[in-house]
Chain A
Amino acid sequence: MSAVTRKNRDGRKRARLISGKAGSLLRIVFSLAITFFGLLLVTFLIGRVLPIDPVLAAVGDRAPQDVYDRVREEMGLNLPLWQQFFIYISNVVQGDFGQSVLTANPVIEDIKRVFPATLELATLATFIGVVLGIPAGVFAAINKGKWPDHVVRVIGLAGYSMPIFWLGLMGLLVFYMKLDWVAGPGRLDAFYIDFIEPTTGLMLIDTLIEGDMDLFWNAVSHIILPASILAYFSLAYIARMTRSFMLEQLSQEYILTARVKGISEHRIIWRHALGNVMVPLVTVIALSYANLLEGSVLTEIIFAWPGLGLYITNSLLNADMNAVLGGTVVVGAVFIGVNMLSDVLYRLLDPRARR
């Protein structure tokens, strides 16, 4: 017992020594570095134990043996595993993530190209999910056991259990093929592909920068369907969680007190109860956003959407390790970033956390 207290006291003393903001920044940087190192190590090892020959992606199946052997050596695969990893890490520290075998580009360039596509899709999907999901969840909670509740729950369950592959194809068939409301697969009509030079990589913004409204609306009509389909999933999740958080809040005593005080039901639900629900809800939304930012492989395949999910999957299936590791770093950074963002939001939403 006393040993533990002493340890704590020592720790606190040391913490005070690395005082102030610089210290906490240092600690954050250190823990980030460790996190990324671990992430890379694990991914690297998994990549290397996969029963896939990485040389095949570079030379193809029909290359003669001498070419195969030479390329294998060039790729450094003859070295012991720890040495390969060491070389990789020391390059990464210098900002060099290497070259992708599949695209012949530096991995950084590839990621600059594919990540915005995913970012755009995920952000829009999350936006739709939040805007529709929260009211739906609240609505279901205040009508608990009545038909609106059942409707929301059925929609939520369907959204959660329907295969996205099927949903995507059906969406295309109905809204693109039959009704002609939206455009088909791809981020722009094929004919427009060359007309746009990526500045941010976000098609909706790049087309606006170009100032071409035709292109902008074309981009909108392309993104709306895949975004809605991804949104359906996050909507289902957000609505379900909102409902249960709301039910919990509505049964609390302060709600009863408020009702006794004669505050309008509208205000009780949307201000008091929902206000308290927002805090845990931020975590839910952040997690679902981070998941979408990893890239949804199946959606990307069906909608010919050249995003991060497809890039990492394709690279993994070809054992293109530079690309896989680069992608992993991005996914890790996204998770950490979104977590930090939700911490900030926490503080804004919950007065107790501000202290």
Chain B
Amino acid sequence: MRKLIAGLVMGTALATMPLAAQAETPKNALVMAFAIDDIITLDPAQIFEFSGAEYAGNTYDRLIGFDNDDVSKIHGVIAESWDVSEDGKTFTFKIRDGIKFASGNDLTAEDAAFSLQRVILLDQSPAFILGQFGFTPENVKDKIRAVDDSTLVMEVDKPYAPSFVLYCLTAGVGAVVDKEEVLAHEVDGDLGHEWLKTNYAGSGPFKLNKWTAGESLSLTANDDYWDGAPEMKRVIIRNVKEAAAQQLLLQKGDIDIARNLEADQLAAVKDDANIKLLSKGKGALWYLGLSQKNEYLSNPKVREALKYLVDYKGISETILAGRSQIHQGFLPEGFLGAYNENPYSLDIEKAKSLLAEAGLADGFSVTMDTRNTTSIMAMAQSIQATWAQAGINLEIIPGDGKQTLTKYRARQHDIYIGRWGPDYQDPHTNASTFAWNPDNSDDATAKPLAWRNAWDAGDLTAQTDAATLERDDAKRAAMYVDLQKKVLADGPFVIMFQETEIASMRGNVNNFVLGPSFDNNYYRFVTKD
């Protein structure tokens, strides 16, 4: 017994001894807390998740890129320059000299051609971004080819708007992989896919050190990077799901950047002199999808009334607290042709009169499938409250993310509160889902958001297709503005907000770059005081 007591005393002494050495993160390393458990692959031909895209954006180079502050400015990355043929169907890229992969291999036009072919041949989720230009596994080796070591030729099937083709090449599928390295790990003709899922074969400013799924991702600087070696020699990203834990780590100085703080934590760190915030408008939109299979929601007057029944300002300011701006057109601000007017605001009386015109002066009952995260539930509850004022009884059905999504995709919802992120920087990405629905039957092959909400987009489908072929950018932009106005007036979407990403960082961290999408959040310029 005495021994036991002695042990207890010693144990207590040990436990109260300050074990945590107060350590700042090293000057040449960047340490981040970030919810990265959405990463399911590291192969750029397959990556279609937010944090996966960010990884690829920092480790792989693409042929071309755009200016984060003005996306209309497209510049060469691996391609030094490019030409578009008179008929608009042949793109010729001149590949920059002297770029080396992390393996030491030289990067040539052959690698670039192989990388693009590989996307089509593997046919993973993001493959359609290139596939929509007429490439198929059968023809891609002819259509995309290296003429010599520094010339890449790409032939598309129609005279598309050049901006459309180029924007698609700035997406993750445009990443150039090391052909020799990848093929060295090929198994059963998989083009090295199984291997690249957890390994690295690129030429970017950082290379993969180690990925431990659900735990951490660490990168090492590429000291021979052609466009200047990063000052941060290591980047360590730890998967921390809980926002409150991220906040504590940041305030304590154990990490340099916290990526997923929510309203409560942001309010708390705002007054901390050691912490600064960086924000950037992202492409993701928050919207309500109104199923046209529901007898009430299929009434145009009801759809219009609901657009007047959201407290846009209140939700944006209190619930999303700086992490969004009001935006109602289907193209996010910053996109070519984005329509930035927001005609709807909370107007209960107007909504009531519209409902009366629809013969529903006494209101109706309807359900909404809602992800059970704090901010989405709070948004849903605000909407529930404002709808009640117009006599609409909204029942919130909470569920986990994948569960509500499964129901939505099967067209079994009344209303779905969702978030939509563009797949690439061209307006067609959103037009082809909000304003395009070639077949509204249950067994359609294409299932855009318009289809999920059982909305027959009518003429808009043809107009969307036509906009991809308009080679004059100004005319093209005008076509998208027109499409947005029509969807805004009649569509089954109550588009509410455009997301803003906020990175909270220690005061000594400079030049961390947030871009319009996750694959242009860059670490390579970061310096620390």
A263-292 with Cβ < 8 A to chain B: 266, 270
> Contact between A310 and B409 (Cβ–Cβ < 8 Å)?
no
Which chain B residue has the least Cβ–Cβ distance from A63?
Answer: B125
Interface residues of B in 14-31 (CB under 8 A from A): 15-23, 25-26, 29, 31
B402 at the interface (CB under 8 A from A): yes
What are the interface flags for A94-123 relative to B under an 8 Å C-beta threshold, 1 for contact and 0 otherwise?
000000111111000010011000000000
Identify the closest chain B residue to A228 (Cβ): B15
Pair A185/B20 contact, Cβ less than 8 Å: no
B474 to chain A, nearest CB (A): 29
Whether B251 is near chain A, meaning CB under 8 Å from some CB there, is: yes
Q: Is A89 close to B, CB under 8 A? A: no
Contacts of B75 in A (CB 8 A): none
Asked whether, in the complex, the Cβ of A194 is within 8 Å of the Cβ of B210, the reply is: yes
Q: Write out the residue numbers on chain A whose beta carbons fall within 8 Å of the beta carbon of B405.
A: 53, 56, 61
CB of B185 within 8 Å of the partner chain:
no
Segment at the B interface, from A37-45, A176-184, A235-243, A331-339: A176-184
Q: Do the beta carbons of A132 and B218 come within 8 Å of each other?
A: no
Q: Which of A67, A103, A191 contacts B124 (CB 8 A)?
A: A67
Q: Does A22 belong to the interface (CB within 8 Å)?
A: no
Q: Which residues of B contact A249 (CB under 8 A)?
A: none
B40 touching A310 by the CB < 8 A rule?
Answer: no
Interface centre among A66, A100, A190 (most CB of B within 10 A): A190
* Segment 249-278 of B: residues with Cβ below 8 Å from A: 249, 251-252, 254-255
B218 touches A183 (CB 8 A): no
Partner of B402, one of A59, A180, A317: A317
Partner of B245, one of A103, A179, A303: A303
Could you say which residues of chain B place their CB within 8 Å of the CB of A228? Answer: 15
Q: When chains A and B are docked, how far (Å) is the Cα of A39 from the Cα of B48? A: 35
Question: Which residues of B from 397 to 453 have beta carbons under 8 Å from A?
Answer: 400-403, 405-407, 409, 423, 445-447
Say yes or no: is B6 at the interface (Cβ < 8 Å to chain A). no
Whether B423 and A62, one on each chain, are in contact in the complex, defined by CB atoms closer than 8 angstroms, is yes
Interface: B238 (CB within 8 A)? yes
**Total A residues in contact with B, Cβ cutoff 8 Å:** 66
Chain B residue with Cβ nearest A298: B242
A96 CB to closest chain B CB (Å) equals: 15
CA distance A172 to B41 in the complex (A): 32
- Are A105 and B406 in contact, with the CB atoms below 8 A? no
Chain A residue numbers with a CB within 8 Å of B234 are: 194
Contact of A304 with B124 in the complex, beta carbons under 8 Å: no
Residues 173-217 of chain A: 1 if any B CB is under 8 Å from the residue's CB, otherwise 0?
Answer: 100110111111110011101100000000000000000000001
Q: Closest CB-CB distance, A56 to chain B, in whole Å?
A: 6
- By a CB distance below 8 angstroms, the chain B residues around A311 are 214
When the two chains form their complex, are residues B249 and A52 in contact, meaning their CB atoms are under 8 A apart?
Answer: no
Q: Which residue of A lies closest to B22 (CB)?
A: A180
CA distance A102 to B36 in the complex (A): 11
Q: Does A64 contact B (CB under 8 A)?
A: yes
Partner of A221, one of B16, B20, B197: B20
A151 proximal to B (CB < 8 A): no
Neighbouring A residues of B218 by C-beta, 8 Å: 193-194
B241 within 8 A of A: yes
Kindly state the separation between the CA atoms of A57 and B210 in the bound complex, as whole angstroms.
22
Quick one: which of B20, B198, B216, B238 contacts A176, CB cutoff 8 A?
A: B20
How many chain B residues touch the partner (CB < 8 A)? 68
B447 near A180 (CB under 8 angstroms)? no
| Binary CB contact string for chain B from 90 to 129 against chain A (1 if under 8 A, 0 otherwise) | 0000000000000000000000000000000001111110
B213 is an interface residue with CB less than 8 A from chain A: yes
Q: Are B245 and A304 in contact (CB under 8 A)?
A: yes
Give the residue name and chain of the A residue nearest to B256 (CB): A190
Tell me the bound Cα distance from A74 to B123 in angstroms: 13
- Quick check: B213 and A103 within 8 Å, CB to CB? yes
Q: A65 touching B445 by the CB < 8 A rule?
A: yes
Q: Are A186 and B128 in contact (CB under 8 A)?
A: no
In this assembly, does A51 line the interface, its C-beta being within 8 Å of a C-beta of chain B?
yes
Asked if B239 is at the interface of the complex by the 8 Å CB criterion, the answer is: yes
The smallest C-beta distance from A128 to any residue of chain B, in angstroms, reads 8
Q: Tell me, in angstroms, the Cα distance from A217 to B401 when the chains sit together.
A: 39
B251 & A177 in contact (Cβ 8 Å cutoff): yes
Q: Which B residues are in CB contact (< 8 Å) with A65?
A: 445-447
Q: How far is the CB of A197 from chain B (nearest CB, A)?
A: 10
A135 lies within 8 A of chain B by Cβ: yes
Tell me if B252 and A184 are in contact (CB < 8 A): yes
B122-147 toward A: CB 8 Å interface, digit per residue (1/0)? 01111110010000000000000000
Distance in Å: Cβ of A32 to nearest Cβ of chain B: 30
Candidates B20, B124, B212, B445; contact of A181 at CB < 8 Å:
B20
How far apart sit A186 and B212, CA to CA, in the bound complex (Å)?
A: 13
Cα A268 to Cα B245 in complex, Å, equals 48
A183 touches B242 (CB 8 A): no
B80 at the interface (CB under 8 A from A): no
Are A182 and B19 in touch, CB under 8 angstroms?
yes
**Measured between alpha carbons, how far is A228 from B215 in the docked complex, in Å?**
22
* Nearest A-chain residue to B238, judged by Cβ: A190
Q: Which single member of B23, B123, B128, B238 contacts A193 (CB below 8 Å)?
A: B238
How distant is A335 from chain B, measured CB to nearest CB, in Å?
24
Check B20–A110 contact: CB distance below 8 A: no
Kindly report which residue of chain B lies nearest to residue A186, judged by CB atoms. B238
Interface residues of A in 215-262 (CB under 8 A from B): 217-218, 220-221, 224, 228
Check A270–B1 contact: CB distance below 8 A: yes
Separation of A132 and B236 alpha carbons in the complex (Å): 38
Cα–Cα distance between A60 and B172 once the two chains are bound (Å): 15
When the two chains form their complex, are residues B19 and A67 in contact, meaning their CB atoms are under 8 A apart? no
Is B252 touching A58 in the complex (CB atoms < 8 A)?
A: no
Q: Which residue of B lies closest to A113 (CB)?
A: B212
Using Cβ atoms and an 8 Å threshold, which residues of chain A touch B215?
113, 193, 306
- B503 contacts the other chain (Cβ, under 8 Å)? no
B248 within 8 Å of A (CB atoms): yes
In angstroms, how far is the closest chain A Cβ from the Cβ of B433? 8
30 A-B interface contacts by CB (under 8 A): A61-B405, A62-B48, A62-B125, A62-B423, A64-B446, A65-B447, A67-B128, A104-B197, A113-B215, A131-B7, A172-B244, A176-B20, A176-B248, A177-B252, A182-B19, A183-B19, A184-B20, A184-B248, A189-B254, A190-B25, A190-B33, A191-B26, A191-B31, A194-B209, A221-B19, A228-B15, A301-B241, A304-B242, A310-B214, A317-B401
Question: Which residues of B pack against A, CB within 8 Å?
Answer: 1, 4, 7-8, 11, 15-23, 25-26, 29, 31, 33, 37, 40-41, 48-49, 123-128, 131, 197-198, 209-210, 212-216, 218, 234, 236, 238-242, 244-245, 248-249, 251-252, 254-255, 400-403, 405-407, 409, 423, 445-447
On A, residues with C-beta under 8 Å from B are 50-53, 56-67, 70, 100-105, 110, 113-114, 131-132, 135, 169, 172-173, 176-177, 179-186, 189-191, 193-194, 217-218, 220-221, 224, 228, 266, 270, 301-304, 306, 310-311, 314, 317-319
Q: Enumerate the 7 nearest inter-chain pairs by beta-carbon distance, A residue then B residue, closest first.
A: A103-B213, A221-B19, A63-B125, A53-B406, A306-B215, A183-B20, A104-B197
